[in-house]
Amino acid sequence: MTKRAEVHGSVDPGFEGVLHEFHRNFTERGEIGAAVAAYWRGEKVVDLWGGHRTPNRDAPWNHDTVVPVMSATKGLAAMALAIASARGWLEYDAPVAKYWREFAQNGKDAITVRQLLAHEAGLVLLDEELTVDRMRDLDDVARLIARQKPAWPPGTRHGYHAMTIGLYMQEIIRHVDPKHRTLGRLFHEEIATPLSLDFYIGLPAGFPDERIAVLKTLSRWRAILALRNTPPTFIRKLLQPGSMLRRSLVLDALDMNDRHALEIELPAGNGVGTARAIARAYSAFAQGGAELGITTDTFASIIQPPIVARPMDEVVGLPSYFSLGFMRPGPEVSFGSSPRAFGSPGAGGSFGFADPDEQLGYAYVMNKMDFYLIDDPREVALRKAVYSAIRRLASHRVTFPDPSPVTTWR
């Protein structure tokens, strides 16, 4: 017998439509456990969580439940690079080798930080095996990735660096930070602590297991059912032995339900946190990042629309748009209210982004993974409801009272 899914949290007056769609996710769209949050003009207007943190529905999703968000981690990692830029430790248009000499091996001497973060460097693959245990020795990993030869002439095309982008971001931070902190530690000290975020790139060893949601991963049968929602080009590349897409998953055996895999730092994909934390971080950046010391120059670089001569992604076989570590909107990838928006989706359905035009920070997380590359129906319904509320409230310019707590049942 299916247990009822309880929903808690609050929405500001005017945002009741988000609660309605969140409720529908459980009653109509098969949600197990999830959370959604939005900050508008610096104020939290949506903070909802509900359902169950385990696939067998034997434990509730609580206010402080955290969940692995896969590639949505990339956006938070990109914020760490933005901190380095704002502090003057890093120039986006400088060669990576300026900060990390060993990187220049095998024809990589001219690759700029901007090209690398735009997935243009051709560093999609690894010629040596990378394991979770090996990830614990970052010096060893640094030597491995410094030796890597690009898969295409850097700067001539782009392709999604699914896992490797985080390894290179990590090493850039370790080299430019005067304290030589890891990316996860810098994120914690420079972003998470000032903003009181419950988000980790490298889960602390003593973190309580009962706070971590368990993912319902994509079994073979569920993957087959999801094929109807997956672009055929992507399916072909995923099934083709030796394809660049398959080879780009350099840690494809990584089990996100194994906390040992969450305790290493993998800035491309093993971040753990709440929707509230992700939305709050993006809210700070949507407003220019001044409270984190982000300079106007760095912010201007972040919101500048990417220049993509050839949108087709060499790895996934679909158009994609990236800049400074963030995914960006494009003709085939729509989010935010203008090309100035930036964020990152995660495998399974999670998504977080900033909309500077609306001063909006938004995030959705869940534990039932689905197979949409972007625009999971559960997330899209919530995002559309947020924007519908913003449009109505902005046009009426009404001041509302404080939000009321919410408790509903399926």
On whether residue 206 sits in a domain, the answer given is: yes
On whether residue 282 sits in a domain, the answer given is: yes
Residue with tokens 């990339």: 74
Q: What is the SS3 assignment for 39?
A: strand
User: What is the spatial distance between Cα 360 and Cα 352, in angstroms, rounded to a whole number?
Assistant: 11
On whether residue 133 sits in a domain, the answer given is: no
Mean pLDDT across 255-267: 95
Mean pLDDT across 48-52: 98
On whether residue 33 sits in a domain, the answer given is: no
Nearest Cα to 57, choosing from 367, 373, 375? 367
Q: What percent of the chain has pLDDT over 90?
A: 79
On whether residue 216 sits in a domain, the answer given is: yes
- Residue 224's pLDDT band, with cuts at 50, 70 and 90, is low
User: What is the spatial distance between Cα 36 and Cα 49, in angstroms, rounded to a whole number?
Assistant: 7
- Residue 400's pLDDT band, with cuts at 50, 70 and 90, is very low
CA 246 to chain centre: 20
- Residue 4's pLDDT band, with cuts at 50, 70 and 90, is low
- Residue 61's pLDDT band, with cuts at 50, 70 and 90, is very high
Which of left, alpha, beta for 288 (phi over 0: left; psi -120 to 50: alpha)?
left
More reliable by pLDDT, 83 or 4: 83
Mean pLDDT across 38-57: 98
Tokens representing residue 23 in the block: 């409720």
On whether residue 49 sits in a domain, the answer given is: no
Residue 236 scores a pLDDT above 70: yes
Among the residue ranges 43-57, 86-100, 247-261, 271-285, the one predicted with the least confidence is: 247-261
More reliable by pLDDT, 396 or 10: 10
On whether residue 272 sits in a domain, the answer given is: yes
* Phi/psi of residue 266, nearest 5 degrees: -130, 85
User: What is the spatial distance between Cα 50 and Cα 7, in angstroms, rounded to a whole number?
Assistant: 4
Residue 130 scores a pLDDT above 60: yes
Mean pLDDT across 81-108: 98
Q: Are β-strands 43-51 and 33-40 bridged in parallel, bridged antiparallel, or unpaired?
A: antiparallel
On whether residue 315 sits in a domain, the answer given is: yes
CATH label of the domain that carries residue 360: 3.40.710.10
Strands (E), 12-58: 33-40, 43-51
Domain of 325 in residue numbering reads as: 61-77+189-384
Q: What is the SS3 assignment for 345?
A: strand
Per the structure, how many domains does the chain have? 1
CA angle centred on 97, ends 124 and 321, rounded to 5°: 40
* Burial readout 224-241 (b: 16 or more C-beta within 10 A, e: otherwise): eeeeeeeeeebeebeeee
User: In the predicted model, what is the mean pLDDT of the chain?
Assistant: 92
DSSP assignment of 63-102: TT-BEE-GGGHHHHHHHHHHHHHHTTS--TTSBGGGT-GG
- Residue 397's pLDDT band, with cuts at 50, 70 and 90, is low
